[in-house]
Amino acid sequence: MPANLEGHVCIVTGPTSGIGKQTALELARLGAQVVLACRDAGKGEAVRDEIVSGTRTSRTEVMQIDLADPASVRTFAANFLATHSRLDVLINNAGILAFRRRLTPGGVETTFAVNVLGPFLLTALLLPLLKSSAPSRIINVGSATHSSGRVEFDNLQGEREFRFIRAYSNSKLDLLLLSYELARRVQGTGVTVNCVHPGTIRTGLYNGLPAAFRFVKFFMRSPAVGAAPIVRLAASPELRDVSGRYFDRLREARSSAASYDVGAGQRLWSVCEALAAPLG
């Protein structure tokens, strides 16, 4: 059973719909001070109002962030650090499934930018505060589709070939490799890092797909089912020291063989560091 989170500060990215919205609501119900890290602040205010009326807590805040834009990620982190003295839980939930290859204004392929580079930069910028707030937790929302992904250093951003499901699966494998690499790097600091597949959940993730793909939504589970494993990782006392693991919904599981390639994780870390530079 999750703990009481009174006094805990939690950031949830992508809380304006689907799994992130439900996660934010559940964390607020447990007493946490939740920061809604939203691309669209107007949508964020509406979610905040729902959370406040559903939980009678006024400690939920909205802060703007566009994970596709490193400048916006830096502004978010600077604003957060200027206004908060602790961070107990960072949930990198926001993610996209982009049907076509598009570049951000900074020239990075959007799936890679939002699912990999944005969370990488956000985590790096908030890591000193997570360390000084330890014990603290980082939860990356991955996907079981990582198992069909490949680390393609010559095609990280679909520059050679772009297929949307492959780009998504690859991005989730990248996120998992970075989760394991970060867990190694923060070992002994009291910061834990885990990655979780929330299940196949009926959300806005599939809205951008052609109608032929969207029928699968009817066979999916509710956002509450998807939020449960994330909230458990964020709040369960028995998971306090568990780090560097992958969870398939509520169970710890082995991830794909490719995800345990330490060399690939280190190399990907360096690539992301270069793309996100300067990190400080």
Ligand X SMILES: NC(=O)c1ccc[n+]([C@@H]2O[C@H](COP(=O)([O-])OP(=O)(O)OC[C@H]3O[C@@H](n4cnc5c(N)ncnc54)[C@H](OP(=O)(O)O)[C@@H]3O)[C@@H](O)[C@H]2O)c1
Alpha-carbon gap, residue 41 to 36, rounded angstroms:
9
Nearer to ligand X, 8 or 197 (CB): 197
Looking at the DSSP assignment, which residues form a beta bridge with residue 106?
none
CB 95, CB 141: distance < 8 Å:
yes
**Binding piece for ligand X, criterion CB under 6 A, among 10-18, 27-35, 183-191, 247-255:** 10-18
Nearer to ligand X, 66 or 109 (CB): 66
State yes or no: residue 94 binds ligand X (CB under 6 A). yes
What's the closest the beta carbon of residue 187 comes to ligand X, in angstroms?
25
Residue 147 carries which DSSP code? G
Nearer to ligand X, 18 or 265 (CB): 18
**Binding piece for ligand X, criterion CB under 6 A, among 89-97, 148-156, 176-184, 263-271:** 89-97
Nearer to ligand X, 206 or 237 (CB): 206
Alpha-carbon gap, residue 6 to 38, rounded angstroms:
23
Alpha-carbon gap, residue 138 to 234, rounded angstroms:
8
CB 88, CB 10: distance < 8 Å:
yes
State yes or no: residue 46 binds ligand X (CB under 6 A). no
Alpha-carbon gap, residue 95 to 14, rounded angstroms:
7
State yes or no: residue 18 binds ligand X (CB under 6 A). yes
Alpha-carbon gap, residue 106 to 52, rounded angstroms:
36
- Annotated catalytic residues are 168
Nearer to ligand X, 32 or 175 (CB): 175
Backbone angles phi, psi at 101, to 5 degrees: -75, 120
One character per residue 124-163, x = contact with ligand X (rule: CB under 6 A): -----------------x-x--------------------
State yes or no: residue 201 binds ligand X (CB under 6 A). yes
One character per residue 207-246, x = contact with ligand X (rule: CB under 6 A): ----------------------------------------
3-state helix/strand/coil string of 198-218: CCCECCHHHCCCCHHHHHHHH
CB atoms closer than 10 angstroms to residue 274: 9
Which residues sit at the interface with ligand X, rule CB under 6 A? 13-20, 39-40, 43, 65-68, 93-96, 114, 141, 143, 197-198, 200-201, 203-205
